Structure 1
Amino acid sequence: MATPTPSLSPPPLNLWIILSESKRIINAHSRHFLALSVLFLLPLCFSITVYPSVFLLITDQSSASHNTVSLLRGGLHNNSDDDIDSKTTVLLVIGYIVVITVFNLLAIGSIAYSVFQGFYGRPVKLNSAVKSSFASFLPLLATLTSSNLIVLGGFLIPGILAFVLVKLIETIPGVEFDYASSYFQGFVTLVTIISIAIAVKLYVNWILAWVVVVVESAWGITPLKRSKRLVKGMKCASLSIIFFFASTESILVWISTLAAYAQLNDNENGGKSWTDAFFVVQIVITSAFLTLLTLYNLAATTVMYMYCKAVHGELVWEIAEEFAREYVSLPFDDGKVPHLVSVAYNNI
């Protein structure tokens, strides 16, 4: 009686495996990813870190100048000053959104391409990665716009339904709707929780959409649908990636905001000596850590894309076409010992 050949299957996908593979790929091409980080991620993370300080500084100066003008004019309120303040704030927010969007999309295009090439053990070149970033920019922008519109709809639909329900209740004779009541506050909280849950569910399904745009040259709604198919059965890994990087990056942004408030308050009290030095050190350290986290976030998403393709039986065909052998070893420069990833033909 012949002994059945044991079936090889990919290891269970979890956050640790994804981060380990991401680390191996980044270490194998450390100079390449360092260059991409300096080009695209560092300006992005520096803008995120400095924005709270710049926003508070500009708004504080605008408020101070507005108060001074009001006092000189006998305390009369001037609408033109309010218009200037609001225009400055709006322009600052728009500029910030444009900067982080541009550098974020360029970083996705270059890093996802580089990790994809590194996963196969192919040469990773800076020129090719930069070209990929610009070639993928418009498709990524179209996909980002599509996803944001869908998420916006996920927030608006429950809000509109709640608004209609409140208006219907107000039309009932003898019924007065108290907006300050605890029941209404609880109702608003429930609607908000439902909207957030819808957004999280969408982002869990769409985590691979940006890699699909770069690797498969798709855009718009198509990468979102493609990502949802690939993530099927891997939603726990997707949620763990989102939660891990969202929480750690949010902590760094929170630290930057606290430092900005501390800097502003200390300047108003006349003490600048120690807060200026602390503020500069905080910006440098926070930007560096945020750059590293963002790099690993993009790399982890691309690695998860490859694992999901392997689990769904898609990766073996691509490897078979490229290497034309049953088991494939994908080399990564992990010190002097190569790292081998074997893919079994279980789905053939």
Structure 2
Amino acid sequence: MRRFTLTTLRNFGMGKKRIEEGIQEEAEYLLKQFHGTKGQPFDPRHLITYATFNVICSIIFGKRYGYDNKMFQTFIALLVENSEIFASIWGKLFNAFSALMEWVPGPHQRMIPNYAKCREFVLEEAQEHRATLDPNSPRDFIDCFFIRMDQEKHGEASEFTMENMVACCIDLFTAGTETTSATLQYGLLILQKYPEIEEKVQEEIDHVVGRSRMPSMADRGQMPYTDAVVHEIQRFIAFASMIVPRATVKDTLFRGYIIPKGTMILPVLISALHDDKEFPNPKEFDPGHFLNEDGTFRKSDYFMPFSAGKRICTGEGLARMELFLFFTSILQNFKLKPITDPKDIDATPLPKPTGRFPRPYKFCVIPR
């Protein structure tokens, strides 16, 4: 499933011009929503989540939804609720002792009904795709999955089933929305705390991009400071400080130690992202961590917010593109105005087991 998914995402332009244009289009819709706040305080959480969700929708379903679409809003709310329940003590107990917990009242009782509703949403879209499928011209991820299903329909051991299609789609939505959305929200909060950094980014945007067109990925090479700020946001927040467990497939020699075959491994990414030798004062937000003395961008092998190795995040290329384009589009068009003194903004993460999320906040955006 992973190999098929990665190949399909790449075929549909992950990290390429086709997806870039889709993100730019979605950024325009997001900017319209920001303009609609008319300089009044608002919570950006839902708008940013809808924008990142629509990017995944364009890949899976071949279309986007209006932010006021009730079915769209409900689907997102169900996925978010399940993610939060799963990460809670109720979810952990349900996962470990499912037979027992079926008889215990609590929020975990909503997880399976929520998943069933999400499944219906995906299946409804899939049925529309099946009715209009052209095997010679796949439009999106679901079309590609159907084509592969038809190719393997006589294979008894085929993994390409409707259940796996639904599971893959929901996994892509869950993994591809919340992480990027939270990083964008966190980044906008941090930039309110450091208005001098926001100002330098906007100066670079004005110099390289101007105001008459949307930022593009081709601009990134000429915007080392902005690129450094985006990298520093990811490094500083270390959203996935510890990722899902892995296991060694053979006895492995690592730094003089033998790790036996089958040993569970818990990669702690924050140990690299906050390494004080590579990043002096790692708990301080400093774009200089990714800048050379001459102002050019500095790469670091310790920058691994998407994990590393063969099991690195499938959507890394997509996420990198979204973060750069959404950030630059917002800062190109708006000045961020906090509703409290910047010195009083709390940039420490909420203690959630699924990631390092920003604390809820409201702010104003003022057209530039």
Higher share of residues assigned strand: 2
Task: Identify which of structures 1 and 2 has the higher relative contact order when contacts are C-alpha pairs closer than 8 Å and 6+ apart.
Answer: 1
TM over 0.5: no
Give me the TM-score of the superposition, normalised by structure 2: 0.30
* TM-score, length of structure 1 as denominator length: 0.32
Which structure features the higher share of helix residues? 1
Larger CA Rg, structure 1 vs 2: 1
